[in-house]
């Protein structure tokens, strides 16, 4: 799996573009500035956007190629991005964040609930979550996402894996993606925002 992502990111082009995810951007603008954790952040488009708006950002991914691209993107804006290369289950920090944003963080099904619950430990009580990922109805579409249905989401799985969350938005939606070269076209996603109880 790591070889796949290193190869994908080891390219001059940005696989998912340099602009932030639209849902992430819209929801972040509603919140007061603070600290934000971005797991499985890839090439850094969301982290760099948040950093440019004055957020205190920590991003991570298990791909070294992703980190190199993210740092390069941050440097074009004269920003210094705090970015770690680490697996989600091994990520550890004493810091508690105001926001965690999961943008297409599709962990393997065998560890997904454990990884999501582990990361939520780093969120402050009443802290905010922003989430967008492909739904199970994405399978067969050409606009991106895992080809394994077990790595895609259903609403009931979200409710189970993110228990302890007060959901504000929780919806499955058909959208038009235009993110780089791998997220293009009609897509089925699940989005949610919520706060930690």
Three-state SS at 54: coil
What pLDDT sits at residue 59? 98
Domain 2-196 belongs in CATH node 3.90.850.10: no
What pLDDT sits at residue 12? 87
Three-class secondary structure assignment of 78-132: CCCCEEEECCCCCCCCCCCEEEEEEECCCCCCCCHHHHHHHHHCCEEEEEEEEEE
pLDDT exceeds 90 at position 2: no
Question: What tens digit of pLDDT does each residue of 9-57 get?
Answer: 998 899 999 999 999 999 999 999 999 999 999 999 999 999 999 999 9
Is pTM beyond 0.95? Reply is: yes
Question: What tens digit of pLDDT does each residue of 76-103 get?
Answer: 999 999 999 999 999 999 999 999 999 9
């Amino acid at each position: 799996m790591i070889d796949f992502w290193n190869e994908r990111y080891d390219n001059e082009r940005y696989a998912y573009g340099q602009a932030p995810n639209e849902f992430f951007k819209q929801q972040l603008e509603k919140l007061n500035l603070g600290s934000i954790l971005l797991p499985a952040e890839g090439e850094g488009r969301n982290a760099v956007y948040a950093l440019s708006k004055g957020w205190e950002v920590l991003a991570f991914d298990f791909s070294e190629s992703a980190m190199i691209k993210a740092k390069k993107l941050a440097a074009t804006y004269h920003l210094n991005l705090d970015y770690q290369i680490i697996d989600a289950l091994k990520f550890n920090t004493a810091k508690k964040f105001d926001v965690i944003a999961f943008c297409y963080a599709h962990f393997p099904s065998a560890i997904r609930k454990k990884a999501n619950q582990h990361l939520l430990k780093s969120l402050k009580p009443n802290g905010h979550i922003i989430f967008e990922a492909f739904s199970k109805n994405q399978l067969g579409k050409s606009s991106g996402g895992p080809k394994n249905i077990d790595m895609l989401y259903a609403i009931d799985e979200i409710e189970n894996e993110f228990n302890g969350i007060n959901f504000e938005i929780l919806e499955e939606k058909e959208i038009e993606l235009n993110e780089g070269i791998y997220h293009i076209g009609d897509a089925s996603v699940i989005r949610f925002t919520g706060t930690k109880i």
